[in-house]
Amino acid sequence: MKTIQDFNFENKKALIRVDFNVPLNENKEVTDATRIEAAKPTIIKVLEDGGSAVLMSHLGRPKGVQEEYSLKHIADKVSDSIGVQVKFSENCIGEDAEKMVADLEPGEVLLLENLRFHKEETEGDRKFAEQLSKMGDIYVNDAFGTAHRAHASTAIIAEFFPNKKCFGNLLAKEIESIEKVLKTGEKPVTAVLGGSKVSSKITIIENILDKIDHLIIGGGMTYTFIKAQGGAIGDSICEDDKQELALSILKKAEAKGVEVHLPVDVLGANAFSNDAETQVVAVDKIPDGWQGLDVGPETIKIFHDVLMKSKTILWNGPLGVFEMENFAEGTIALGKSIAKATEQGAFSLVGGGDSVAAVKQFELDDEVSYVSTGGGAMLESLEGKTLPGIAAMEE
């Protein structure tokens, strides 16, 4: 599995698949440049070697060519980020684009137009991939966020670069971080899984039970487990048809020697609202008309103690409705505990949309070991699936 460090790009044109699918406001300005910043080390390595970089990405889900999804809107932000004026090509394939690539001097950067303006990209069309392959000498995949899709620019294009393909710094780091959790991490390994539904986390739980020592369960899926065990959950969210499944997870965990930690108390509310009345109650004694929207103080302590003993930590999903200020305490406390464990030498990986949003919102992203840039791709990795974008690089 070659990385960008295995190549010298002197006088070479690196065709880099980046993930610049970034949020824009109504003025078409980038509101979160995390993904652009994440690609910077890879781009800089190419330029410092004396090569040039051709960047390709998608943005949104356009239906054909739609001006609001043009990557020209982000070109200035990319220039600011990497400190080099970025040129822009109004197409990602064709004669004009090929000429711009041919004219590129060492140290220069060219951004190609949105790949998804061509339906062939998402169809994984081989001919389209071949046209893209003309845009560089060496193919670098640095887009973890799209590695789980068998698209032309991620899974198909690699075959046109049999000995000249590698992972960028970002993608290599993502793979290494997930392997630390699933294979090479120091024990004890703890997985914290939150979010609202057991059903969306089932395959992850089943895949990681052999690799972990502790499983902390929080968020809305708590109540499916508690109800399955005969607890009273009031009006809390619950997947009634997943109760048997919840019990079977607990049995499997016990058989494998994995300690499962469920909340013991919750912050209950009499409505799904930040202004609702609240009370701390036992997790299995929530009164009718009330619902659990965050974990309680006793649970925060228990989870903290587990994390302090952990050497490898995976966090995917919040413990409560952290978007509402009054129900964010559990998620903030969890983030702080993980940060403290990290400070004491643990390796911590945070991934999945809501957890990433939480660590950023509460400014804990620099206090954990690694924040994943790919939601769906990370989840599929944790489920044990082989990602097409990664498999293509190993062939």
Cα–Cα distance between 333 and 270 in angstroms, integer? 23
Cis amide leading into 188 (omega within 30): yes
* Fold topology of 4-170: Rossmann fold (3.40.50)
Report pLDDT for 353. 65
Residues assigned a catalytic role: 35, 197, 353, 376
Report pLDDT for 185. 87
Q: pLDDT per position in the chain (395 positions), as tens?
A: 799 999 999 999 999 999 999 999 999 999 989 899 999 999 999 999 999 999 999 999 999 999 999 999 999 999 999 999 999 999 999 999 999 999 999 999 999 999 999 999 999 999 999 999 999 999 999 998 889 899 999 999 999 999 999 999 999 999 999 998 888 889 999 999 998 888 888 888 988 999 999 999 999 999 999 999 999 999 999 999 999 999 999 999 999 999 999 999 999 999 999 999 999 999 999 999 999 999 999 999 999 999 999 999 999 999 999 999 999 999 999 999 999 999 999 999 998 768 888 888 899 989 999 998 777 788 888 888 888 889 999 87
Class of CATH domain 185-382: alpha beta
Q: Which of 354, 5, 360, 379 is nearest to 181 (CA)?
A: 379
Q: Which of 93, 137, 87 is nearest to 119 (CA)?
A: 93
Task: Tell me which amino acid residue 196 is.
Answer: S
Q: What angle do CA 221, 181, 318 make, to 5 degrees?
A: 30
**What residues form the annotated binding site?**
19-21, 35, 58-61, 116, 149, 201, 292, 323, 352-355
Cα–Cα distance between 117 and 181 in angstroms, integer? 37
**What residues form the annotated binding site for (2R)-3-phosphoglycerate?**
35, 116, 149
pTM: 0.86
Question: Distance of CA 231 to CAs 41, 212, 341, 372, Å?
Answer: 51, 26, 32, 35
- As annotated, the residues of the chain forming the CATH 3.40.50.1260 domain(s) are 4-170, 185-382
Q: Which of 86, 117, 112 is nearest to 98 (CA)?
A: 112
**What residues form the annotated binding site for substrate?**
19-21, 35, 58-61, 116, 149
Cα–Cα distance between 377 and 365 in angstroms, integer? 19
